[in-house]
Structure 1
Amino acid sequence: MEILIKASQFILSLSLLIVLHELGHFIPAKLFKTRVEKFYLFFDYKFSLLKKKVGETVYGIGWIPLGGYVKISGMIDESMDTEQMKQPAQPWEFRSKPAWQRLIIMLGGVFVNFVLGIFIYIMLMYSYGERYLPNDNLKDGVWVQDSLAMNLGLQTGDKILSVDGQKVKKFSGLSLEFINGNNFEIEREGKIIDKKIPTDFISQLMDRGKDAGPFIYPRFPFVIGKISEDSPNVGSALQEKDIVTSVNGTLLKYYDEAENVLSKYKGQEVTATVIREKQEKEITLKITNEGKLGVVFTTLPLSDLEKLGYYDLANIEYSFAEAIPAGWNKSWKTLTDYVKQLKKIFNPSTGAYKGLGGFISIGSIFPDEWSAESFWNITAFLSIMLGFMNLLPIPALDGGHVVFTLWEMITGKKPGDKFLEYAQLVGFVLLIALLLFANGNDIFRLLK
């Protein structure tokens, strides 16, 4: 059922983005009296799931869910209809239109993607606002227990101040900042220390496995998740969800302090203070000869930690006027972060190519329970990502057509049809290779 919910959200989001992107081409084409022969969601090689002709355009749904397209008369596109190009140009064809009109038609899809992403982020800011843990709020620093964080030279209690000279605003954004960054600054025992992020940091991050979780955490209180069957505290007053805050009068604010505190009382009985249902209680506990309680630790949601006074979460509400710049800023950051990641993917030494994913990876980022906020957040991100990818100067993408049209506008010389055919073919091969590699990565990760 979880897979079905994820897949349904993915298909819905993808379909929405494809249809609106193609509308971005369709509408200016019709405004400039250019004939549109087909408007398709997904590709219809050999046959269609649904199709209906309205006027001069066939609208349909294909069976290959790799995208969609509009087939514009007199244009060399993914259909590779070269026969039409051998005929004399007609007034309604794309090739007969002025270069500036062709440029607008080609940029229409990208324009819609960017505008849609910005609009969704604005509406999300207006509807939900922002709620997050400010990085400045980690007064006692971070919890380091992952080998990757240790290899970076981090220690529990370090305060991460900035990445590449930019102050980190949200703790939840730290992982992404490290992925995109080259160096960072920490405060340790009052001293400011500069550290370098290894070139292959992304590779190390990927090698941890898909279930490894974050490489760095906020510091959590000592919350009892489960009492082990062989624990000396089975049958004691200790209960699951208790929060241990002191042992024999020694303050135990965070779980990462437990080992040092408990090791002082190996094999002894101690008096511990616990918080249970918002009330403090004193109970007697037994410490094993190894300095353990015989329990399994668990974490708490940040909202619960806020109620306990550990952290203050930022909770920002926006009026519609305030949501506009906030949505714009989030869109811009989404785009710039994506560009930084793309640059690292094309640098083999970073190992970022290991993280390149296809449909399985994209589908997996949707939650396994329906959440309108999450769905629209992911859709906005995908819209901006799709807009940028289509701007890349690769033949077979909008960006490739734009480059050829700009060349014509600057030089006054239009590339030959034969050149455009070969360029389209090369671009198509490149895209298929990239698609196979990305989805191959997905399959490889599933088999690991």
Structure 2
Amino acid sequence: MNSSMEISVEHAANGEQDSVLTDQVASPALDDEKILVSVEVCMTSSSTAREEDVKSAVERMLEKRSLSYSAGSIPVPAEDKFLTENVNKIQICDPDECEHNHKVLLFWQVKPVVHVYQLCEEGPGEELSGEDDLASFNEWMLPAKEFDGLWESLVYETGLKRRLLRYAASALLFSERGVNPCLVSWNRIILLHGPPGTGKTSLCKALSQKLSIRFKSRFTQCQLVEVNAHSLFSKWFSESGKLVAKLFQKIHEMVEEESCLVFVLIDEVESLAAARKAALSGSEPSDSIRVVNALLTQMDRLKSFPNVVILTTSNITTAIDIAFVDRADIKAYVGPPPLPARYEILRSCVQELIRARVIVPSQECGDDFTLPSFTVSRETPSQSQRPADIMARSLLQVAKDCEGLSGRSLRKMPFLAHAALTDPRCCDLTKFLCALVETARREVAEILSS
């Protein structure tokens, strides 16, 4: 008889967490058959404990068959003094890997991989170009407090975030194992393209944060350098080359330290391609084409370093220089969110307003009211009169009305709805959802007429 633990996801239809310890006959799976589930452990800012000790303590906690928990987060056990003093939160990640087999994984099917980290609270540092006090790049030490929770807050089509994580893991593994780049080609360059407001830059920053946590045991230090592409083109074009050289000198100093993982983010990379195109047409000085060529050359030189990943974004897909597109290993289109993502974005907004008590559910909803997830709400019979199901249908209608809107626009919608209320100080959830429906229709109508 083998005792096994179930890791179950939240059943949002009734607002309860189904975290049940079950005893059942099961054959333990071999290690290579188990599903790897990442468990991220955030230490408190005041903790001076060794990460290895925290990791061992969490692994011992996970081995206890008497513990039950739901996918998403694990409460730090109050009886474990060491963990309560040193750990801020424990998060089960990779929910898309967990949510199969009817949304339940048995303990013997799972091999938890524990990642321990401590957030850097310093904030970004700036390097000024000198001419107009325009920052040529910002620099963060990762994992940064500023990006905490960003990855989880971003909602896209199924599989996009998992695809990016797996690509980066393969790229870094190939470099670590010394795969011959003459035989197998990879550049460690990611290009995210699509319309403005879809979260491309946020996704790049969140990906850097997530990778800095996942590869903490391999790299003792991680940094993100966000390049301001516009600042590289000085109004005195003779200075532009110096700005590029200064930028990459800084990056080269970082990557020369083998224990440091460096992420280089170039936002709106199409501005580089546009500058070269304008120079070729004769409308810009020829210096600009030399600057872009120099930038591409410097990016090529970074290929020789195994500890650097280049992340780029573009709002205008057709404007990207083909020479750059060819360098990108993975090109992912990030468009307006589909219906499931729109619903989940709005649901997360509403849940946050409930948490902050900006809006208050009615008494019949209960104190721990939770709106159903998209899957559950779609499966719920339309005639159901349960408060959660009624409100889920209202929110689903808002999500349908917002077709074509960006994630940025969707996250503004709850604020605009609240501002439209007659008495925003006293707002129950039902009234708020009615206001949200009206606001969504008004905003979409204004966008279509503009």
| TM-score bucket of the superposed structures, by smaller chain | under 0.3
TM-score of the superposed pair, with normalisation by structure 1: 0.21
Bigger RCO of structures 1 and 2 (CA < 8 A, at least 6 apart): 1
Q: Is the radius of gyration larger for structure 1 or structure 2?
A: 1
TM-score of the superposed pair, with normalisation by structure 2: 0.21
